[in-house]
């Protein structure tokens, strides 16, 4: 994990320090003064001088200014670092910019759009793209641009919620399977195998059809079909760290197995999981839109990309291409963005590709 | 340099790597010449650029690296200007390389014989009908017993030493003129190291080949090389015939390296550089004040450790102090007839049903076979043996990370062997037995800062409560192990090997344990860092009154730190007794073999 400041890494670190703080908050009063008394220099410190020089010897000479974490310039150093990484991975930079646009549209889009996405105006139905209606209007005279922008929130929410859910289910089950092995591993493995035995989209259709046609069930179905992906990645990553030195050291420090799992192993596989989440985010959006397209999940007249494509498809033959085209394009751009972002993150996280 | 045209001429070579933090110069303006038939050692600590130099010669630098300046000529051919085709012809046929990790260098899914054939075929040395015979002949030349059978072996079926022989066979298959051996024996036991090195030297001498031996081990270079090139920070510090360099090193860096190499007849303090030696004189005084500091501070469990003994600096004083200690108290650790059995991995499931003959082997494999020993309070005991002899299994059992199969482990009068390893983690007894791990990098969680790593045992088992108090305790420990306080908030990847070792030691002593198991704590470190860490360990033992069980394969290191030595072979103890006695007049043949296998350079 050298030198990259992934957002999750920072937050995770913060998470850890929070925990320490919370544990100690009540005890702060009992702090003893003598504990903080500085110690006279030991001979070890004398020896250290020699090692410090030796350490300088060991590291290569670096011509560029050292980005040593200092309290004052740490923010600037981090910025410089981010710029370097984005400079090395231009495509990832573009994907990241697109991602910001999507997030922005999801957050504030509904307040900025020129028309009410649900207000129909039959007088202005099926109008081609113009200055008044950038993406044209649909068969009920609703503004396609407004609907595409407003739909971002719902689609993005479904994707984020399902990915978060599958991370909790698959990620944790996989980590436990990899770390404990034995029966846990077998049970998780067979569940994953069972899910993978179905054509995934058909399975998602089945789940939504059985549980009911709601947004929650779309989220749940999307999460379940992605379960094996997360469980397998997490299992593999946890398994190689099972007997790592720091895990043994944690046992010696008196950590129970569950604590080791959550506090020692999980933070270490987070980068890989974040990559996985970004890659499946695109699939989740596609899955949700796909379900809506065939009439499962979200129902009209809600603005949602999948429904809009489904509704617009009928008008393609008569030449009103814009009704289906723009939500379709939005869908494509979103999926493209998440995949690129996932690829980029994977390259950044992969130590083999790092220079 | 009697010849006018050397076999290999590296002139003013500079290699640069472009990294995230800018351009890094790994090698700067170095000159190396190798004559035909010469064996040259390139010696240096990690990061000195010795491997990068050899990669530049073979032109196998990775993507980020490039030769920025200088020239490399091999038998008159300009390596820098040569086309990739020419280089491909050169590699393997004219110059070849032996890598550090033989297992990684061999293709795991290809039979070793086939891999040798691949090289021969690539350089069309023999026609295809004779390939197999030729490969078997080459296997025979590197002294692989029953080469016809081993031709069909996969790398995982062979031992480490055997794999390295196959790698040597691969390197020598096309009779190259230059062999580059990059730390060829680092992962191997001393006895295997000796046979492998003897083999390399014999084969290359007989064929009149030149050899570059890249190593961090001065003793090894001195024993096998004609000439030695000492590198530091990407520059050549000194080049001289090996006899000269070891009798009269002219450069301070070479002297420092030589001093730091553990060898017979020196004490721990002798390993530290001269200029530091003066500082260490005051260091003893510093140590005493340190001890006062330690006693003034509340220890983890509130026990104030007596600081009665003055820091013993010579071995006799140390032995005397320990003698007193052992007289006054019962042994700290008693191990009796300890056994660890592992089930043999046989054929399972369907294969078992279809198997005709029952396996003649017993169902279990005894990794540790009925060993008994004791450790007294304040004593350090060395556990020595080759890899696979059961020394690590023994230490993990004493550590209560693994359950024993049979026998007794008594710690301070209590039978801790009876407690299941899983349950032991949360007992108060846990904090009295701690461990320093072999690989400082692997044993630190990459997501924890140094302070968090040191605090971990304190938070779980310690009596110190409150964020500021824990932090203060961490800082005290950091001072004790000589870790600068500003490094406490760094992550492991931002620390050097020696600093990581210090974090590991600080974590092990955080709970003021009675017994610390040191599992080759310096095996992954450079000699100069090893010297410092060994001294630190000795100081901490004296000031905190801990006992050490020092697991190692390096007898020279054990000699420095331990009062008594236990020599293990194949799960059994072959010999145990006071260190000097065993190392000076070993009784068992195995101990004699171990001692003889250590390279003995002619130090003045």
What is the per-residue pLDDT for B1? 44
Tokens 């396996």 label which residue? B359
Helices (H), B261-382: 274-296, 315-328, 349-354
What is the per-residue pLDDT for A52? 38
B260 or B312: whose pLDDT is higher? Answer: B260
Q: Is B425 on the interface with A (CB under 8 A)?
A: yes
What is the per-residue pLDDT for A175? 92
Rounded to a whole number of angstroms, the distance from the CA of B536 to the nearest CA of chain A is 6
DSSP A280-336: HHHHHHHHHHHHHHTT-SS-TTS--HHHHHHHHHHHHTTT-THHHHHHHHHHHHHHH
* HSE-up (13 A, CA, CB side) for residue B230: 23
Sort B554 into a burial class: Cβ within 10 Å, 0-12 / 13-18 / 19+.
Answer: middle
Sort B372 into a burial class: Cβ within 10 Å, 0-12 / 13-18 / 19+.
Answer: middle
Rounded to whole angstroms, the Cα distance separating A174 from A151 reads: 33
Rounded to whole angstroms, the Cα distance separating B470 from B456 reads: 10
Strand order in the sheet with B178-182: B95-98, B178-182, B210-215, B39-43, B227-232, B235-241
Q: Residue B487 to residues B117, B165, B478: CA-CA distances in angstroms?
A: 52, 43, 9
Interchain contact, B469 vs A42, CB within 8 Å: no
pLDDT at B202 over 80: yes
Which residue of B272, B289, B439 is in closest CB contact with A245?
A: B439
Rounded to whole angstroms, the Cα distance separating B482 from B283 reads: 12
Q: Tell me: the pLDDT tens digits for B438-457?
A: 888 888 988 888 999 999 99
Mean pLDDT in residue range B289-295? 36
What is the per-residue pLDDT for B360? 56
Q: Is B457 on the interface with A (CB under 8 A)?
A: yes
Q: Tell me: the pLDDT tens digits for B504-547?
A: 999 998 988 999 999 888 877 888 888 888 988 998 888 888 99
- List of chain B residues whose C-beta atoms are within 8 Å of the C-beta of residue A240: none
The b/e string for B350-366 (b: 16+ C-beta within 10 A; e otherwise) is: eeeeeeeeeeeeeeeeb
Q: Which conformational region is residue B127 in: left (phi greater than 0), alpha (psi within -120 to 50 degrees), or beta?
A: beta
B219 touches B601 (CB < 8 A): yes
pLDDT at B571 over 90: no
Q: How many CB atoms lie within 10 A of CB B107?
A: 12
Which residue of A42, A47, A250 is in closest CB contact with B276?
A: A47
Tokens 């501070």 label which residue? B297
B600 or B486: whose pLDDT is higher? Answer: B486
Q: Tell me: the pLDDT tens digits for A140-154?
A: 778 888 888 888 888
Q: Is B428 on the interface with A (CB under 8 A)?
A: no
What is the per-residue pLDDT for B144? 84
Above pLDDT 90, what percent of chain A?
15
Rounded to whole angstroms, the Cα distance separating B405 from B397 reads: 10
Highest mean pLDDT among B15-29, B340-354, B568-582: B568-582
How many cross-chain Cβ pairs, A to B, lie less than 8 Å apart?
268
List the structure tokens of B161. Answer: 């030493």
A225 touches A204 (CB < 8 A): yes
What is the per-residue pLDDT for B211? 92
Tokens 């350090």 label which residue? B380
Q: Tell me: the pLDDT tens digits for B97-130?
A: 888 788 888 888 889 889 988 888 888 767 778 8
Q: Is B426 on the interface with A (CB under 8 A)?
A: yes
List the structure tokens of B286. Answer: 């510093």
Read off the pLDDT band of B361 (50, 70, 90): low
Which residue of A52, A54, A249 is in closest CB contact with B437?
A: A249
- List of chain B residues whose C-beta atoms are within 8 Å of the C-beta of residue A60: 17, 24-26, 47, 233-234
Which residue of A35, A37, A354 is in closest CB contact with B469?
A: A35
User: Which residue numbers in chain A have pLDDT < 70?
Assistant: 1-74, 77-78, 81, 349-355
Rounded to whole angstroms, the Cα distance separating B4 from A354 reads: 43
- List of chain B residues whose C-beta atoms are within 8 Å of the C-beta of residue A44: 290, 479-482, 536, 539
Read off the pLDDT band of B274 (50, 70, 90): low
Which residue of A31, A57, A355 is in closest CB contact with B63?
A: A355
Q: Phi first, then psi: give them for residue B3, nearest 5 degrees.
A: -75, 150
Rounded to whole angstroms, the Cα distance separating A262 from A207 reads: 31
pLDDT at B351 over 60: no
Which residue of B20, B456, B484 is in closest CB contact with A250?
A: B456
List the structure tokens of A137. Answer: 């209007």
Q: How many CB atoms lie within 10 A of CB B35?
A: 17
Q: Is A22 on the interface with B (CB under 8 A)?
A: no
Residue B529's closest CA among B452, B437, B440, B451?
A: B440
Rounded to whole angstroms, the Cα distance separating A127 from A142 reads: 10
Q: Is B497 on the interface with A (CB under 8 A)?
A: yes
Q: Which conformational region is residue B12 in: left (phi greater than 0), alpha (psi within -120 to 50 degrees), or beta?
A: left
Mean pLDDT in residue range B73-84? 86
Strand order in the sheet with B65-74: A61-62, B22-34, B8-19, B65-74, B77-78
B388 or B416: whose pLDDT is higher? Answer: B416
B544 touches B463 (CB < 8 A): no
Interchain contact, B287 vs A42, CB within 8 Å: yes
- List of chain A residues whose C-beta atoms are within 8 Å of the C-beta of residue B426: 254, 256
Residue B193's closest CA among B264, B100, B259, B92?
A: B100
Cis peptide before B261 (omega within 30 of 0): no
In the three-class reduction of DSSP (H, G, I as helix; E, B as strand; rest coil), residue B575 is classed as strand
Rounded to whole angstroms, the Cα distance separating B99 from B102 reads: 6
* Average predicted confidence (pLDDT) for chain B: 81
């Amino acid at each position: 994990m050298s030198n990259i400041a992934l957002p999750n890494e920072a937050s995770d670190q913060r998470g850890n320090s929070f925990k320490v703080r919370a544990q100690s908050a009540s005890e702060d009063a009992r702090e003893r003064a003598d504990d903080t008394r500085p110690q006279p220099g030991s001979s070890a410190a004398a020896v250290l001088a020699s090692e410090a020089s030796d350490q300088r010897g060991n590291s290569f000479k670096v011509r560029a200014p050292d980005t040593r974490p200092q309290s004052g310039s740490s923010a600037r150093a981090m910025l410089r670092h981010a710029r370097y990484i984005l400079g090395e991975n231009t495509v990832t930079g573009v994907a990241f910019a697109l991602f910001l646009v999507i997030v922005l549209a999801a957050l504030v889009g509904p307040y900025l759009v020129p028309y009410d996405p649900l207000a129909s105006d039959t007088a202005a139905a099926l109008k081609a793209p113009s200055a008044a209606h950038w993406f044209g209007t649909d068969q009920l005279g609703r503004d396609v641009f407004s609907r595409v922008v407003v739909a971002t929130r719902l689609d993005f929410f479904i994707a984020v919620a399902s990915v978060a859910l599958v991370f909790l289910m698959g990620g944790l089950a996989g980590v436990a399977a990899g770390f404990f092995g034995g029966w846990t591993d077998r049970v998780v493995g067979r569940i994953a195998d069972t899910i993978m035995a179905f054509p995934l989209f058909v399975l998602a259709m089945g789940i939504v059809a059985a549980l009911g046609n709601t947004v929650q069930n779309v989220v749940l179905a999307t999460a379940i079909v992605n379960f094996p992906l997360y469980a397998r990645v997490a299992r593999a990553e946890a398994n190689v760290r099972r007997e790592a030195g720091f895990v043994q050291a944690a046992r010696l420090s008196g950590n129970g197995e569950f604590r080791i799992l959550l506090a020692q192993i999980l933070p270490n596989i987070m980068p890989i999981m974040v990559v996985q989440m970004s890659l499946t985010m695109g699939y989740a959006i596609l899955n949700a839109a796909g379900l809506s397209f065939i009439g499962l999940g979200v129902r009209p007249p809600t603005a949602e990309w999948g429904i809009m494509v489904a509704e617009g498809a009928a008008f393609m033959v008569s030449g009103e291409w814009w009704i289906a085209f723009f939500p379709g394009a939005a869908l494509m751009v979103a999926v493209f963005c998440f995949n690129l972002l996932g690829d980029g993150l994977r390259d950044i996280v992969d130590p083999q590709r790092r220079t | 340099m009697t010849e006018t045209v050397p076999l290999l001429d590296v002139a003013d070579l500079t290699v640069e790597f472009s990294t995230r933090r800018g351009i890094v110069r790994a090698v700067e303006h170095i000159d190396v010449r190798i004559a035909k038939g010469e064996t040259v050692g390139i010696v240096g600590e990690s990061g000195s650029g010795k491997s990068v130099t050899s990669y530049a010669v073979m032109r196998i630098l990775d993507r980020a690296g490039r030769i920025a300046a200088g020239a490399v000529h091999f038998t008159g051919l300009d390596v820098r200007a040569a086309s990739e085709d020419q280089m491909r012809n050169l590699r393997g046929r004219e110059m070849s390389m032996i890598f550090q990790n033989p297992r990684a260098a061999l293709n795991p899914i290809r039979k070793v014989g086939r891999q040798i054939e691949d090289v021969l075929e690539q350089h069309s040395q023999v026609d295809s009908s004779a390939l197999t015979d030729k490969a078997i002949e080459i296997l025979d030349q590197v002294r692989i017993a029953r080469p016809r059978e081993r031709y069909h072996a996969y790398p995982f079926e062979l031992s480490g030493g055997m794999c390295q022989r196959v790698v040597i066979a691969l390197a020598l298959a096309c009779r190259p003129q230059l062999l580059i051996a990059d730390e060829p024996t680092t992962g191997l036991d001393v006895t295997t190291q000796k046979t492998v090195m003897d083999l390399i030297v014999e084969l290359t001498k007989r064929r009149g080949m030149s050899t570059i031996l890249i190593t961090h081990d001065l003793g090894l270079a001195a024993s096998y090389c004609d000439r030695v090139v000492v590198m530091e920070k990407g520059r050549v510090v000194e080049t001289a015939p090996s006899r000269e360099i070891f009798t009269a090193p002219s450069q301070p860096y070479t002297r420092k390296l030589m001093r730091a190499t553990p060898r017979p007849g020196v004490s721990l303090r002798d390993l530290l550089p001269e200029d530091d030696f003066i500082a260490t004189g005051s260091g003893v005084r510093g140590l005493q004040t340190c001890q006062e500091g330690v006693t003034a501070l509340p220890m983890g469990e509130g026990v104030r450790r007596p600081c009665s003994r003055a820091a013993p600096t010579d071995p006799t004083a140390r032995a005397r102090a320990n003698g007193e200690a052992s007289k006054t108290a019962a042994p700290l650790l008693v191990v009796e007839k300890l056994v660890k059995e592992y089930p043999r991995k046989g054929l399972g499931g369907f294969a078992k049903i279809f198997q005709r003959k029952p396996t003649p082997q017993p169902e279990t494999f005894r990794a540790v076979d009925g060993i008994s020993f004791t450790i007294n309070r304040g004593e350090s005991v060395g556990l020595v043996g080759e890899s696979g002899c059961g020394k690590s299994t023994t230490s993990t059992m004493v550590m209560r990370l693994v359950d024993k199969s049979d026998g007794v482990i008594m710690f301070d009068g209590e039978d801790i062997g009876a407690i299941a390893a899983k349950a032991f983690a949360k007992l108060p007894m846990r904090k009295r037995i701690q461990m320093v791990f072999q690989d400082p990098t692997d044993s630190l969680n990459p997501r924890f800062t140094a302070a968090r790593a040191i605090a971990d045992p304190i938070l779980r088992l310690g009596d110190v409560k409150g964020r500021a108090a824990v932090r203060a305790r961490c800082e005290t420990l950091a001072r004790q192990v000589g870790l600068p306080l500003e490094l406490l908030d760094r992550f492991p990847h931002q620390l050097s090997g020696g600093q990581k070792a210090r974090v590991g030691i600080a974590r092990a002593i955080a709970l003021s344990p009675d017994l610390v198991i040191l599992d080759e704590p310096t095996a992954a470190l450079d000699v100069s860092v090893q010297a410092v860490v060994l001294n630190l360990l000795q100081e901490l033992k004296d000031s905190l009154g801990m006992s050490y069980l020092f697991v190692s394969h390096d007898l020279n290191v054990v000699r420095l730190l331990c009062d008594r030595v236990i020599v293990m072979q194949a799960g059994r103890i072959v010999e145990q007794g006071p260190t000097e006695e065993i190392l000076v007049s070993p009784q068992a043949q195995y101990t004699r073999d171990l001692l003889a296998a250590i390279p003995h350079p002619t130090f003045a």
